[in-house]
Amino acid sequence: MCAAERTPLDAPLNFLSTDSVLPTLIFDKTPLWEEKGWIGAPLAKYLRPFINHLRRRCAPTTFGRITGEDERQTLEKARQDASMARPQTFHKANPPARVIDPHFELTGAKLSSLTQAIAYRGILERRDTPNRRQTEENLATAQAHMKTSQTRCSIWMSARHKDFSRAFAVFLWKLMHGGLKCGAYWSKIQGYEERAMCSHCGAVESIQHILFECNATGQSLIWSLARTIWEKKGMEWPSLSLADVLTLGLTAWPSQKGRVRPGATRLWRVLISEAVHTIWKLRCDRVVGHAEDEQWEHNKTFVWNKLQYTLNNRLALDVESVQRKYGGSALKRDLVLATWNKVLRDEPALPRDWTMYRGFLVGRTPALRVDLEPD
């Protein structure tokens, strides 16, 4: 952009680079982005004024890639000259103006390329919506919790991880935005302030309280069963907090050599996501479904069966998802085996490749299901 703005419009301009990124953006990506009105284009604020300036030029403008030895020597000499100069002799250039001339600008999106999703995204880009305070706090908590630096984009993308069920992904999105109707949500509504308090504990019914602190039957039992399954994998159970739920899609479990264990990592995502969502559903059933009786709670057998049913459904879905008929969407058989090994009931009696086993469908024994019983 600096080179284009500093070069006279009637002087030839030749761009040379060591890769083909710039030509690809200009000749391949730009036509597609222009047809969509630059909606969702990641480099629009830089590439759009750059293209606009190039169209104003009346002299030839070319783009090439450095391939010849003479060009490489010229580039290397320029780098050496720049590195040998003293920093005091450098003059800080003004940033590119990024001025757009309306006479050389294509505005709007083509109707033939416009979809409802693109139009909706374009409307959101034009709206100056302020960030939610709770969302900002949760994002900051997630970033502080991770040992490695994570961008907000990676955190949002992890909330839709392929190992999550769709219902949990929606739940996690609402949790990140503070959109779950519990705790402080009710304290702001006149006449319903008492709903902000937990009927069993008397504390504010925040999502942290529901998932990790509530004394009502369900929360502690679910985590006890989840811990039983996780320890069967030979892994140490960590202390959990709300930050672990927010960063669940980014969490990876390494081996002793420091390599990521795909099976253990995937089991952790499945186990924690289903446990969290089960606890939330039990809470909603208790608080909303039995609002008349504030002291009503689930019995332990029901909670045990509900978690077992949920995990066995995920196991059955994994077994079905490795079938070849699903083509590129099929799960890798080795990943499914690594996910569920050591946590299945009567595993020594199962075949080595139990993904071909259909005992859980036709009632044969031993049944293919997750073992929730303690060792």
Q: How far apart are the first and last CA of the chain?
A: 66
Q: Which of 123, 158, 177 is the last residue of a domain?
A: 123
Q: Which of 67, 100, 123 is the last residue of a domain?
A: 123
Q: Are residues 13 and 107 in the same domain?
A: yes
What distance in Å separates the CA atoms of residue 149 and residue 55, rounded to the nearest whole number? 40
Please answer whether residues 339 and 263 qualify as being in contact, where contact means their C-beta atoms are separated by less than 8 angstroms. yes
What distance in Å separates the CA atoms of residue 176 and residue 159, rounded to the nearest whole number? 9
Q: Are residues 174 and 238 in the same domain?
A: yes
Q: Are residues 188 and 239 in the same domain?
A: yes
Q: Express each pLDDT in 112-140 by its tens digit.
A: 989 999 999 898 888 877 888 999 999 99
Please, what's the b/e burial string for 226-259 (b: 16 or more CB within 10 A of its CB; e: otherwise)? bbbbbebbeeeeeebebbbbbbbbbbebeeeeee
Q: Are residues 302 and 211 in the same domain?
A: yes
Indicate whether 372 belongs to any domain.
no
Q: What pLDDT does 17 receive? A: 87
Indicate whether 239 belongs to any domain.
yes
Q: Are residues 97 and 232 in the same domain?
A: no
Q: What pLDDT does 369 receive? A: 86
Domain count, the chain: 2
- Work out the angle at residue 252's Cα, subtended by the Cα atoms of residues 248 and 258, and round it to the nearest 5 degrees: 165
Q: Is 89 helix (H, G, I), strand (E, B) or coil?
A: helix
Low-confidence ranges of the chain (pLDDT < 50): 360-365
Indicate whether 25 belongs to any domain.
yes
Indicate whether 171 belongs to any domain.
yes
Indicate whether 302 belongs to any domain.
yes
Q: Are residues 94 and 150 in the same domain?
A: no
Q: Are residues 346 and 201 in the same domain?
A: yes
Supply 305's token pair: 């069966």
Q: Are residues 181 and 257 in the same domain?
A: yes
Supply 240's token pair: 């959990």
Helices 262-287 and 333-340, axial angle in degrees (round to 10): 60
Mean pLDDT across the chain, nearest whole number?
A: 89
Domain region containing 145: 136-362
Q: Are residues 334 and 209 in the same domain?
A: yes
Q: What pLDDT does 124 receive? A: 85
Q: What pLDDT does 137 receive? A: 94
Indicate whether 369 belongs to any domain.
no
- Work out the angle at residue 246's Cα, subtended by the Cα atoms of residues 244 and 251, and round it to the nearest 5 degrees: 55
Q: Which of 123, 152, 183 is the last residue of a domain?
A: 123
Q: Express each pLDDT in 318-364 by its tens digit.
A: 999 999 999 999 999 999 999 999 999 888 888 888 888 655 444 44
Q: Of 220, 219, 230, nearest to 374 (Cα)?
A: 230
Q: Of 243, 304, 274, nearest to 166 (Cα)?
A: 274
Percent share of the chain, pLDDT over 70: 95
Compute and round to an integer the Cα radius of gyration of the chain.
29
Indicate whether 129 belongs to any domain.
no
Q: Are residues 357 and 306 in the same domain?
A: yes
CA dihedral 78, 81, 82, 85 (to 10 degrees): -170
Q: Are residues 310 and 190 in the same domain?
A: yes
Indicate whether 165 belongs to any domain.
yes
Q: Are residues 68 and 154 in the same domain?
A: no
